Amino acid sequence: MGSPSAIRVEGLKVAYGVRGGFFRRGLSSVRAVDGVSFEVAPGEVLGLVGESGCGKSSLGRALLRLVPVTAGSVQIDGLDFLALRGEALRRARPRLQMVFQDPYGSLDPRMTVFDTLAEPVQAHEALTSGRVAEQVYNALEMVGLTRAAARRYPHEFSGGQRQRVAIARALILRPLALVADEPVSSLDVSVQAQVLNLMKTLRRQLNLSMLFISHNLAVVRYVSDRIAVMYLGKIVEIGPREAIYSRPRHPYTEALVSAVPIPDPRRERGRVHIKVTGEPPSPIDPPRGCAFQSRCPLATERCRLEAPVLESLGADGHAVACFERGPGKV
Amino acid sequence: MEPILDVRDLKAHFFTRRGVVKAVNGMSFRLHAGETLGIVGESGSGKSVSQMSLLRLLPSPPLKIVGGEAFFRGKDLLRASDAELRAIRGDRISVIFQEPMTSLNPYLRIGAQVVEPLLVHRKMTRAEAWHEAEAALDRVGIPATRNALDAYPHEFSGGMRQRVMIAMALTTRPEVLIADEPTTALDVTVQAQILALLKDIQRETGMAIVLITHDLGVVAGLADRVLVMYGGRVFEEGSAEQVFYASRHPYTMGLLRSTPRLDVDTEVLPSIAGVPPDLARVGEGCPFFERCPVRLPQCSLFPAAREFGSGHVGYCHWKGEGSPWEVPARFVSKG
C-alpha cells in the first residue's frame, strides 16, 4: 500500500433526533449523513458541494466530532479518530482543524487576536511565552497579517481579515488536514478572491489536505482537485474536477451544474438549463429507493424501490450512484 | 421613449452617532417599460438602499434623502406625500425581498396575505380578491388549493415562500418590480426556477424589473442594462454586453476578473487588494481610490459622467487603453 490517506471516511452516518409534531410526541430522526465514504490524499483538496440541507455541513462537523456520529469510521492519517478517547483524542485533535463560514461567530469577540492564536498553542504544547509569541507572529505572517494585528479584537477587522485570523488559528498547530465549511460565503467577491488565493497558497506550502465545503460550485471548481456531490445525506457522484464539471453523470449533478449562472451574458443566454422541478424531500422522511427520484427526469420503477450505490466509471476515480447513468450506461 | 422611472442625482445618507454615512452619494438612472435593469455591487455599495429609499421603506431617521429627484411616470417620488406614495407602492411599484420569511407575516395565512394588496389598492370585494389571489398563486406555480391558501408561511419551503412573495407583488399588475436579491437565499436549482418565472411573467405583462444583486451570473442571464455601484456611487451603466465585454472602468474590470467561474478552469484568480471604504469617511473623491491600480491626482474629486460608448456611461478619470490591472506596479501613479 502507498501512503495512507490524510482523511479516510467509511460508512459515516449522522442522525439527529427531532421531535415530531405536537400530537406526535415520538422522536423521529433526521438522517443528515446517510452512509458516506471517501478519501482525501495528502495535499489534496476535495470539494464537497450540495444544496442546503443535503448534509454537507454535518459531514464536515462529524469529521471533527462536533456532532454525534451514529455509525462509520473516520481515519486521520491512519488514526481511528472516532475511537479515540481522553488524552489520546486531545493529542490527535491538532491534526484536523476547521474553518467556519462566519469568522465573527467563531472568534471570541473579547479576546485579542494574540490570545485567540496563543490559546491552542498553550493548550497543546508546553512552550515558553517567547516561543508562543513567535508561533503567533509566524501564523499571522503566514496569512498576510502584520504583527500589529495581534493586539486588536475581531470587531476591528474587515470580514476578509477576520477570516484570515480564523485560518491562522486553524493552522497554528500545523494540522495535516483542514475542514473548511463555506469559508468565503460571507465575503464579497473582491475580497473572496484574496482569501481563496491564500488558502490555495497555504495548501501548497504546507501540503495540506482539505475538505472544502461550499454551495458555490464556481468557488469549489477554483480550489478543488476532486469534487463530491451530496444530495439528501448521500454522495451521489464523486470524481476529478474536470469530469464533474464537463462530464457530469448523475442527473442531479447535471442539473446543479447547469443551474449555476455564468457571469458572461452571451454564454449564459445561449445555455440550455436543465430544469428540475420541486425541491429536495425532507430528510426526516426520505423516499425509499434513490433520494433524487422524486425530481429526476430519468427515474424508473427500480429507482423508486432500490437505492443505487456509488459505482466506479473508470480508472480516474469518477463514480456515480445512479441506475440509469452507472457504468456501461450512456 | 419616456422612461417609467427617471432618477437624478439621488443622495440618501444615514445620520448616525458615528457620523454621516453616505450610503447613496449621487445616483442617476432611467428605467424603461419592459426592461430589466440589473444593479450590481458588493455589500455596502448602496444598491439596495438606493431603491428602498425611493419607496421610503427605510426608517427615517436615521435615513434622510438629502438630494435628487425620482420621477415615476412624471411624478417625483421624493416629493410625494406619504398618501401619494402609499398609493403607488405595492400597487404600481412592487417589491420583493431576499428573505421571504421575514417579509411575510408569520401569523397570517398565505391567502390572507396575497389578497391584501388587492383589498387595499383595488378596493375589491373579498370574493373578487380571493379569486385574483388564486390566479396569482397559480401563475407562480403554486396550485391554489385550499391547502395552499390556508397554510402559514412556515409550512412552505424557501422557494415556495419566494413564489408567494412574487404572487403578492404581482396581483396588482405593477409597472415596476423591484427585486432585491430575490434568489440569494435559495439553492441554485430553485434559483433557476424563480429566475425563469420572473422572465416569463415579464414577457407576459411587460413590467420593468429592477434586479438588485451581488451575483454577476444572475445579472448576465437576466438584465438588459446593468448599473455597477460601489461605495454609494454609480461607476458604470450600459447594456449587459457593454458592461461585461467593453467596460472601461477599473472596478468593473477588476470585479469581473476576480469572480470565479463555473465554465472555465482558473489557475490564479486575480483579486482586488484592500477592502471597501468606510462610508462615514468618504469625501468628494472616488470611493475606489485606495484600491485602484490607476488612481490619479484628479481622483480626489469624483468624475463627471463620460461616454464609454453609445448608451454606455462611466465615471472614471482614467482614460488609458487595455486593462488597468495589467499595468506593472512601478508605472502606477500613486496620486
**Which residue type does B287 have?**
P
Closest residue in B to A252 (Cα) is: B189
- Residues in chain B within 8 Å Cβ distance of A194: 271-273
Asked if the model's pLDDT at residue A201 lies above 90, the reply is yes
In the prediction, which pLDDT does B185 show? 81
Q: Provide the whole-model pTM.
A: 0.90
Name the domain count of chain A. 1
Residue B154: which residues within 8 A CB-CB, separation 6 or more?
A: B101, B106
Asked if the model's pLDDT at residue A57 lies above 90, the reply is yes
Residue B59, φ and ψ in degrees, nearest 5: -65, 135
Asked if the model's pLDDT at residue A22 lies above 90, the reply is no
* A31 within domain boundaries: no
Q: Tell me, yes or no, if A215 comes closer than 8 A to chain B by beta carbon.
A: yes
* A41 within domain boundaries: no
* Residue of B40, B235, B255, B271 for testing the chain A interface, max A β-carbons within 10 Å: B271
Q: How many angstroms separate the CA of residue A276 from the nearest CA in chain B?
A: 7
* A114 within domain boundaries: no
Range of the structural domain that residue A316 is part of: 247-330
Model confidence pLDDT, tens digit, residues A169-190: 999 999 999 999 999 988 889 8
* A291 within domain boundaries: yes
Question: How many whole angstroms from its chain centre is CA A49?
Answer: 8
Q: Cβ A264–B261 below 8 Å, yes or no?
A: yes
Model confidence pLDDT, tens digit, residues A95-122: 999 999 887 778 899 999 999 999 999 9
Q: Cβ A193–B271 below 8 Å, yes or no?
A: yes
Q: Cβ B272–A260 below 8 Å, yes or no?
A: no
- Residues in chain A within 8 Å Cβ distance of B219: 263
Neighbours of B161 (CB within 10 A): 21
Q: How many angstroms separate the CA of residue A147 from the nearest CA in chain B?
A: 18
pLDDT range class, residue A23, cuts 50, 70, 90: low
In the prediction, which pLDDT does A246 show? 94
Q: Cβ A261–B157 below 8 Å, yes or no?
A: no
Q: Cβ A262–B260 below 8 Å, yes or no?
A: no
Chain A contacts in chain B segment 278-307 (CB below 8 A): 291
* A186 within domain boundaries: no
* A233 within domain boundaries: no
Note whether B45 and B51 are within 8 A (CB).
no
Over chain B (335 residues), the average pLDDT of each successive run of 10 is 93 92 94 96 92 92 94 95 93 88 86 89 88 86 77 86 88 93 87 90 94 96 97 96 96 94 89 88 92 95 94 95 70 41
Closest-CA residue to A56 (of A290, A246, A213): A213
* A278 within domain boundaries: yes
The dihedral region occupied by A188, where left means phi > 0, alpha psi between -120 and 50, and beta the remainder, is: beta
User: If you average pLDDT over each of A191-195, A277-281, A284-288, B273-277, which comes out highest?
Assistant: A191-195
Closest residue in A to B252 (Cα) is: A190
Q: Tell me, yes or no, if B268 comes closer than 8 A to chain A by beta carbon.
A: yes
Give dist(CA B320, CA B310) in Å, integer. Answer: 19
Q: Cβ B221–A242 below 8 Å, yes or no?
A: no
Asked if the model's pLDDT at residue A289 lies above 80, the reply is yes
Which contacts qualify for A108-112: CB closer than 8 Å, 24 or more apart? A108/A154, A109/A153, A109/A154, A109/A155, A110/A153, A111/A153, A111/A154, A112/A150, A112/A151, A112/A152, A112/A153
* A330 within domain boundaries: yes
Residue B133: which residues within 8 A CB-CB, separation 6 or more?
A: B111, B114, B115, B118, B144, B149, B167, B171
